């Protein structure tokens, strides 16, 4: 009787362990799916922030309208309103100073992220030439914080500020 009951105990343990392994496996699979969804969401936010930062830092005195439109395409709220209100001044000053600037995102990190808002920190450089650089390109270094919101399925920048 002792050997048979020992067999039942071992058999029972095997069944319990198999059940636990299946449960753990399902939990890991579920967590993986959640992580993949989060990663995809983070990538969407990062791509939107990267595009907006590059658009914001790109300037060309020979044709500002499409560049301003590119910034506004990724903007919303007060940021969009304030930037649009500066269209004339931006165009006039870039022409007057013969400014060109090509922006490049060096690094970025998605900080706070929830269902419809995100904060992204961006390290970016731009190669700038203007009337005062006498044809010599200068590299400028920027650190920015972008606040994005999800509107109609698109991540848009509602605030952009330079940080130290």
Q: What average pLDDT does this structure show over 100-104?
A: 96
pLDDT in tens, 15-33: 554 554 445 554 444 444 4
Domain count for the chain, please give it: 1
Q: Identify the residue whose tokens are 């300037």.
A: 59
The token duo for 157 is 């920048």
Distance CA 30, CA 45 (A): 23
The token duo for 147 is 């606040």
Torsion of CA 121, 82, 141, 136, to 10 degrees: 160
Share above pLDDT 70 across residues of the chain, in percent, rounded to a whole number: 77
Q: Dihedrals φ, ψ of 123, to 5°?
A: -105, 125
Mean pLDDT across the chain: 85
pLDDT band of residue 2 (cuts 50, 70, 90) is low
Q: Give first-to-last CA distance, the chain, whole Å.
A: 77
> How many C-beta neighbours within 10 Å does residue 70 have?
16
The token duo for 34 is 């959640």
Q: With contact defined as beta carbons under 8 Å apart, do 142 and 104 qualify?
A: no
pLDDT band of residue 14 (cuts 50, 70, 90) is low
pLDDT in tens, 119-154: 999 999 999 999 888 779 999 999 999 999 999 999
CATH number at residue 154: 3.10.450.50
Print the domain residue range for 97: 2-162
């Amino acid at each position: 009787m002792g050997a048979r009951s020992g067999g039942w105990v071992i058999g029972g343990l095997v069944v319990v362990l198999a059940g636990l392994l299946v449960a753990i496996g399902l939990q890991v699979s579920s967590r993986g799916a959640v992580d993949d969804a989060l990663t995809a969401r983070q990538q969407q936010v990062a791509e939107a922030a990267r595009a907006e930062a590059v658009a914001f830092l790109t300037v060309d005195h020979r044709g500002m309208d499409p560049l301003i439109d590119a910034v506004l395409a990724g903007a919303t709220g007060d940021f969009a309103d304030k930037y649009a209100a500066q269209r004339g001044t931006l165009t006039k000053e870039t022409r007057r100073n013969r400014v060109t600037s090509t922006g490049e995102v060096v690094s970025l990190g998605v900080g706070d992220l929830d269902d419809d808002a995100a904060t992204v920190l961006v390290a970016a450089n731009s190669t700038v030439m203007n009337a005062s650089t006498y044809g010599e390109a200068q590299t400028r270094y920027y650190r920015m914080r972008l606040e994005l919101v999800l509107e109609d399925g698109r991540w848009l920048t509602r605030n952009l500020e330079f940080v130290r």
